[in-house]
Amino acid sequence: MPKTQSADKAQRAGEGKIATLLMAPTVIVMTVVGLYPLLHSLYLSLTNYNPTYGDAKEFIGLANYVYAFEDGQFWHSILITLIFTAASVSISLVLAVLLSLLFNLRFPGFMILRTVILIPMLITPVAVGITWRIMMMPDLGVLNYLMGLIGIPPALWAGSSSTALLSVILVDVWQWTPFMFLIIYAGISSLPKTPFEAAAIDGASPWRMFVSLTLPMLKPVIVIATLLRIVDAFRTYDTIYTITRGGPDFATDVVSVYLQRVNFRFFDLGYGSALSWLTLIIVLVVVLLFVRLTGFMKLVADKENR
């Protein structure tokens, strides 16, 4: 048999090594920039490390974690974050579904409008924060001016502890609804047409079609978009920091802003690491709850079986 057509046993056995070889760069990079810092922060969380007091650190066991459970400021910021996430994600979800339905009517000119609508998510969050901060200024801001034109009394926006959280939710909704819209619109436009025609002939009203067909068929897409947004909203930092720095009166002190303060203003790195790990666990619990409640894994399995 000619040599070109056959490989000997050693050559075939060597094929297994190719997979290892191909994975090596990723594994190495991820270990250096991902796994090592993660484990190192876990180690730091068990010490009282604070570089402003010099390089020395003591191993103090779970003391940081015990202290965290009594840290009202931390739990306050977790609560604010949960409210912020829940409100922002659900509002932008509803808006995105409505927008997708509207754009799916495919009126002329919608193509351009669809592109314009995506712009907010392309802007740097810090720029978004600065722009909105200026627009929301109670005295000089354009929002109060516009509201004045139609007779609505001026608001304090981010300047008052009662409306600050609402204001940053508004900005987050404005920036990230396009992202939800993009995913859900893609989902809606790829739905098969005949079930809807069949439903029209079966006598279903448009509302009925939406409830009985559109929403159930869109569920996988909606669940994925929402999951991504939940994770994303949980770690929101730049817009809120540029608009309010967590204030006034800690009304917008979301967990990422608080963590930044502990870690990089007070440089209480040991305690900060412990808080970061607690936050990670809380996010995981939230995500797992969401996955469980929506039957996400089943949706994925169904999709693969098709």
Residues that bind another protein (CB under 8 A): 192, 194-195, 197-205, 208, 212-213, 216-217, 219, 302, 305-306
Task: Quickly tell me which residue has 């034109």 as its tokens.
Answer: 149
Instruction: State the nearest-atom distance from the C-beta of 101 to another protein, in Å.
Output: 17
Least distance from C-beta 191 to another protein, angstroms? 9
Instruction: Classify residue 141 by its DSSP letter.
Output: -
Q: How far is the CB of 2 from another protein (least distance, A)?
A: 43
Of 30 and 198, nearer to another protein (C-beta) is 198
| Residues written for the chain | 306
Q: Closest CB to another protein among 195 and 248?
A: 195
Nearer to another protein, 4 or 305 (CB): 305
CB of 306 vs another protein, minimal distance in Å: 6
- The whole-angstrom separation of Cα 270 and Cα 42 is 9
- The residue (of 155 and 225) whose beta carbon lies closer to another protein is 225
Amino acid identity, residue 141? G
Q: Which of 76, 88, 111 is nearest to 232 (CA)?
A: 88
Nearer to another protein, 169 or 222 (CB): 222
Instruction: Name the one residue in this structure whose structure tokens are 């922060």.
Output: 41
| Shorter beta-carbon distance to another protein: residue 97 or 155 | 97
CB of 215 to another protein, least distance (A): 9
Q: Residue 59 gets which letter from DSSP?
A: B
- At closest approach, how far in Å is the CB of 52 from another protein? 58
CA distance 131 to 125: 10
CA distance 147 to 145: 5
In the bound state with another protein, the residue whose beta carbon lies nearer, of 217 and 286, is 217
Name the residue nearer to another protein (CB basis): 2 or 192: 192
Shortest distance in whole angstroms from residue 107 CB to another protein? 16
Of residues 262, 244, 59, 90, the one with CA closest to residue 168:
244
Half-sphere CA count of 60, side-chain side, radius 13 A: 17
What b-and-e string marks burial along 261-270, b requiring 16 or more CB atoms within 10 Å of the CB?
A: bbbeeeebbb
Least distance in Å: CB of 217 to another protein?
6
C-alpha span between 297 and 238 (Å, rounded) = 32
Which residues, 6 or more positions from 163, have their beta carbon under 8 angstroms from its beta carbon? 155, 156, 157
Exposed, middle or buried by CB within 10 Å (0-12, 13-18, 19+), for 158?
A: buried
